[in-house]
Amino acid sequence: MSGPVLGTDGALPEGDAKYRAVEGMFDRLAPRYDRMNRVISLGMDRRWRHHTVAALGVAAGARVVDLACGTGDLCRDLAAVGARPVGADFSAGMLANARTDAPLVRADGARLPFATGALDGLTCGFALRNFVDLDAVFRECARILRPGGRFAALDATVPANPVMRMGNAVWFRGAVPLLGRMLAGDAEAYSYLPKSTAYLPAEPELRDRLRLAGFADVGSRTFTGGSVLLLTGTHVDGRNDGPTT
């Protein structure tokens, strides 16, 4: 049994408490996760994933890991363009409910079971804000990618435009928890998901932190009025020759 995701005062968990709470939450949400994704994204999640795969720009046959693969949406999209995906997630519930032919492995994003320089690309969909130590995850992403390997990660963010920010708040902080209660029976989890954007650093800081991990050509763009961020980069630094500790 997992404990509550949010504190009694609605506060977001930190450190080990965050790891345990997020793992339990995703295990719990897994059977209804795909349906809820389509609802809360208004079906736009497919387009966001298309942009992610296109930004990765890998050739047919490329070895790509989808980090925090969930139920395998990005694995299927990667396979559709000829890549050879493998999915990694720390939630056993998500892996048990995955709908993909790709190999799957249960793993922590800060300590991945892949050899140094073994992969051509890495994707990550809506999970950066759920990692406990984002810098450790970025370093591990750099370690497992070959020089020239590509990184592309999607996540939810808060629009800079005041009007779009207001609309985002009405939908994600108002409607989404209500829909989570009605359709998934879990208002708390769907209250956490919008609030968790607070974990994510601002866009310029994210780019800087990805560069420090050993990436170049770092870029970012937003979709849907600034509600969704795509962060990209190319691994160039060979110094990350061992797993993070």
What is residue 63's predicted lDDT score, i.e. its pLDDT? 98
Domain-located, residue 2: no
The domain tally of the chain equals 1
How distant, in Å, are the alpha carbons of 1, 192, 222 from that of 39? 27, 17, 20
Q: What is the mean pLDDT of residues 231-239?
A: 84
What is residue 112's predicted lDDT score, i.e. its pLDDT? 97
Percent of the chain with pLDDT over 70: 93
Q: Is the pLDDT of residue 60 over 90?
A: yes
Domain-located, residue 209: yes
Specify whether the CB–CB gap between 206 and 24 falls below 8 A: no
Pairwise pLDDT comparison (237 vs 45), residue with the higher score: 45
What is residue 43's predicted lDDT score, i.e. its pLDDT? 87
Domain-located, residue 231: yes
Rounded to an integer, what distance in angstroms lies between the CA atom of residue 148 and that of residue 146?
Answer: 6
Domain-located, residue 92: yes
What is residue 243's predicted lDDT score, i.e. its pLDDT? 39
Q: Write down the mean pLDDT value for the chain.
A: 89
Domain-located, residue 9: no
Domain-located, residue 6: no
Q: Is the pLDDT of residue 8 over 90?
A: no
Q: Is the pLDDT of residue 125 over 70?
A: yes
Confidence of residue 192 (pLDDT cuts 50, 70, 90): confident
Give burial (CB, 10 Å; 0-12/13-18/19+) of 242: exposed
Three-class SS state of 70: coil
Q: What is the mean pLDDT of residues 87-106?
A: 96
Q: Is the pLDDT of residue 185 over 80?
A: no
Domain-located, residue 64: yes
Specify whether the CB–CB gap between 242 and 63 falls below 8 A: no
Rounded to an integer, what distance in angstroms lies between the CA atom of residue 181 and that of residue 198?
Answer: 22
Q: Is the pLDDT of residue 41 over 80?
A: yes
Rounded to an integer, what distance in angstroms lies between the CA atom of residue 120 and that of residue 64?
Answer: 6
23 HSE (CA, 13 A, CB side): 18
Percent of the chain with pLDDT over 90: 64
Of 122, 98, 125, 137, give the one whose Cα is nearest residue 19.
137
Q: What is the mean pLDDT of residues 146-173?
A: 90
What is residue 195's predicted lDDT score, i.e. its pLDDT? 85
Give the residue numbers spanning the domain of 143: 15-235
What is residue 232's predicted lDDT score, i.e. its pLDDT? 98
- H runs (alpha helix) in the chain: 15-29, 33-40, 45-56, 73-80, 92-96, 134-144, 162-168, 176-179, 187-195, 203-212
Q: What is the mean pLDDT of residues 91-114?
A: 96
What is residue 175's predicted lDDT score, i.e. its pLDDT? 80
Q: The domain spanning residue 213 has which CATH number?
A: 3.40.50.150
Q: What is the mean pLDDT of residues 196-206?
A: 93
Domain-located, residue 134: yes
Q: What is the mean pLDDT of residues 101-108?
A: 97
